[in-house]
Amino acid sequence: MRPVIGITAYSEPRAKKVYCLVSHNYIRSVCAAGGIPVVMPLVSDGTTAFDYLNVVDGLILTGGEDVCPLRYGENPIKEVELFNIDRDEFEINLFKEALRKHLPVLGICRGLQIMNTALGGTLYQDIFSQKEQSLGHFPKLLPVDTLYHSISIKKDSRLAEIFVSDEIRVNSYHHQAVKGLAEEFEVTARATDDIVEAVEHKGKDFVVAVQWHPEDLTVKHPAFLKLFEALVKAAIGVAPGGGYVRG
The residues that are catalytic are 109, 213, 215
Provide the CA 194 distance to its chain's centre, in angstroms.
Answer: 19
Strands 149-153 and 167-170: antiparallel
Cβ contact 149:135 at 8 Å = yes
Q: Are 174 and 137 in contact (CB under 8 A)?
A: yes
Judge whether 64 and 26 are in contact, CB under 8 Å.
no
Q: What is the rounded distance in angstroms from the CA atom of residue 140 to the CA atom of residue 226?
A: 26
C-alpha triplet 72, 54, 161: angle, nearest 5°: 65
Phi, psi of 152 (to 5 degrees): -100, 130
- Sequence-distant (6+) residues with CB within 8 A of 228 are 29, 30, 32, 33, 35, 106, 214, 215, 218
